[in-house]
Amino acid sequence: MIVGIDLGTTNSLVSAWTNEGITMIPNELGEYLTPSVVSFDADGTTYVGAVAKERLVTHAMSTFQEFKRDMGSKTEYKAFDKTYTATDLSALVLRQLKKDAEKFLGEPVNEVIISVPAYFTDEQRAATRNAGLIAGLHVNRLVNEPSAAALYYHSRHMEDAEQYLVFDFGGGTLDVTLVDAFENIIEIQGISGDNHLGGADFNHVIALEICKQNNMDLQSLTDMQRAQVYRHAEEVKMKLSGANEVSEDFFIHQEGGQLRMHVSMDTQRLIDISSEIFSRLTIVLKRLLNQAGSVSKDDIAGVIMVGGSSKMPAVRTYLYTLFGDKLLYDENPDEIVCRGAGCAAGIQQRSDGAKDLILTDICPFTLGVKIQGDIMSPIIHRNEVLPCSRTETYSTVRDRQTELRFAIYQGEFHQASKNKLLHTINLKIPPKPAGEVFVHVTFAYDINGIFAIELNSPYIENAVREEIMNTIGLSEEEIARRKARLEALRYEHGHYNLRMEMVINHAERLYAECNREQQEYLARYLDTLRHYLALGDTASAKGVADKLNALMEFIEKNMFRFDDRDANLWEQYLEHDNGEV
């Protein structure tokens, strides 16, 4: 079985093409969204998803999120004297999704199609593929996220021949794609994006605003305090998706007690403090329409809204000023990319209803070589349809040259050194007069956005062929080593224990925000719950967990009503509960 995975910055999802068509696969908690968060304990116990997210405050130094932004980089994450890369952490998320899919489908899952941001570089694509390999999956294909969204959207509206934009705004990345869809063909015509722009940036500006309103400096806070502020900033952002204004208090931990904070925010204020975000978003849109040449805003039939951040009223208000009533909300924007990856899996499996769909993709960057004068000589141009193969011929410029150096670059600058250097090949040649020795350079770019280079010349003995994927990826030995290392981690919690971990970590996180009396009450429940879990008394543990959940719900709902006027609320709760644990 081939599954489709949306490996997201904030959340990840998995789907499959079954006899019923696209099927979203729930995780162990019965939810489609699995937070892309990983947390570690000192004994090697590893948590992935919702439980890990609950530990962002209480275990801030060993819990990691938004690591997708560091894919393909040398950034390291350290926890308990062990070091992980973004690839390692992503592999743990993929492994959890694989496990969820196998449990739901009732059969092994060994192949996967993973969606990636359209503007991912070759290093980032290689890192994503490596994460799949470390997780024990064969990565059948990498599909661009907006392309996946367009594939699913058009499969639902086959009767429409349209040219539209896919506006994919997730937790950490923005991709905008121009799509021409007709009959059973989805043709990608242009891509623009920003790999470091997303919902996390709104969380940051809201966190800064919270600190400003409370006369505090975000960077001067402790790790736990900063995590608490960011968590509430995200909550404010989410609440503004359903309300025009949010005004609330919350506590953050401080030595010897809690510090009360207040935040007041409305949609207009969010737009005002996010001017830099919207400026960067405008650049991405302008770049795409400029690349498209003759295409104007009037030619766009609709704008498909994809990604959790596209649900924000501030974002929708901004886009409405540009495109009017052309904004399309066909499905839950959190799920469209994953559903599209599932469609791609159906195409690969030749499944009924999917096998006749055709998705063309394009090269998001220009690829070329550096020539004399630090000039970029393009071989494959940006927006060429994949797969493609292009050949250019280069010759010597000096008498009796004995070497030709081919530096392969990716980017749009005319000056080669301003672009991204991907690879270098040094070719030995016989010493001849200038211009006499020539080499045919072929770039072959496949549907995964990863390309191979081939050098041919009558002046060299054998053709030189190198796959950039192998150059920037991990060796088979390194894949095996990392896979064994992650397999040694303890993360088999079981459904029952997973639910108990959720309750415990939620209570521990809330404990840091409560007053002393509430803390004492929470501690009694936590200690009792842990006692029954240690005894293996599941019935008693479940009873305590249910009462603890009710207590936490009451505290969170009424936390700031326990003043002199409403003091009897807490007393009434205690009287009703009788304090029995």
* pLDDT of 562 strictly over 60: no
For 162-217, what is each residue's pLDDT tens digit? 788 999 898 888 989 888 877 778 888 888 888 889 999 999 999 999 999 999 99
Q: Is 487 helix (H, G, I), strand (E, B) or coil?
A: helix
* pLDDT of 67 strictly over 90: yes
Least confident of 53-62, 244-253, 350-359: 350-359
* pLDDT of 576 strictly over 60: no
* pLDDT of 493 strictly over 70: no
Pull the structure tokens for residue 579. 């304090």
Alpha-carbon gap, residue 300 to 255, rounded angstroms? 56
Give the pLDDT mean for 221-227: 89
pTM of the predicted model as reported, rounded to 2 decimal places = 0.75
Q: Give the pLDDT score at 568.
A: 58
| Residue 532 amino acid letter | Y
Reported confidence tier of residue 565, pLDDT bands at 50, 70, 90: very low
Give backbone dihedrals phi and psi of 397, rounded to 5 degrees, phi first: -115, -5
Q: Give the pLDDT score at 382.
A: 84
Phi-psi region of 476 (alpha: psi -120 to 50; beta: other; left: phi over 0): alpha
Alpha-carbon gap, residue 12 to 113, rounded angstroms? 13
**Owner of token pair 């062929």:** 465
**Higher pLDDT, residue 107 or 311:** 107
Reported confidence tier of residue 20, pLDDT bands at 50, 70, 90: confident
> 15 near 26, Cβ under 8 Å?
no
Least confident of 84-98, 124-138, 431-445, 534-548: 534-548
* pLDDT of 340 strictly over 70: yes
Give the pLDDT mean for 544-569: 70
Q: Give the pLDDT score at 158.
A: 57
- Helix boundaries (H) for 83-222: 86-105, 122-134, 145-156, 199-213
Q: Give the pLDDT score at 307.
A: 86
> 445 near 427, Cβ under 8 Å?
no
Q: Give the pLDDT score at 564.
A: 44
**Higher pLDDT, residue 160 or 338:** 338
* pLDDT of 464 strictly over 60: yes
Q: Give the pLDDT score at 572.
A: 60
Cis upstream peptide for 387 (omega within 30°): yes
Q: Give the pLDDT score at 471.
A: 45
* pLDDT of 36 strictly over 90: yes
Reported confidence tier of residue 98, pLDDT bands at 50, 70, 90: very high
Reported confidence tier of residue 425, pLDDT bands at 50, 70, 90: very high
- Collect all residues with Cβ–Cβ distance below 8 Å to 63 and sequence separation of at least 6: 37, 38, 39, 40, 52, 55, 56
Q: What is the CA radius of gyration of the chain?
A: 27
The proportion of the chain whose per-residue pLDDT surpasses 70, expressed as a percent, equals 91
Q: Give the pLDDT score at 509.
A: 80
Q: Which candidate, 366, 388, 363, 394, places its Cα nearest to that of 379?
A: 366
* pLDDT of 580 strictly over 70: no
Q: Give the pLDDT score at 472.
A: 52
Q: Give the pLDDT score at 549.
A: 86
β-bridge mates for residue 286, sequence order = none
Give the pLDDT mean for 333-357: 85
Least confident of 6-10, 112-116, 157-161, 198-202: 157-161
**Higher pLDDT, residue 344 or 571:** 344
Reported confidence tier of residue 573, pLDDT bands at 50, 70, 90: low
Q: Which candidate, 251, 345, 99, places its Cα nearest to that of 555?
A: 251
- Collect all residues with Cβ–Cβ distance below 8 Å to 415 and sequence separation of at least 6: 374, 375, 376
Give the pLDDT mean for 35-45: 91
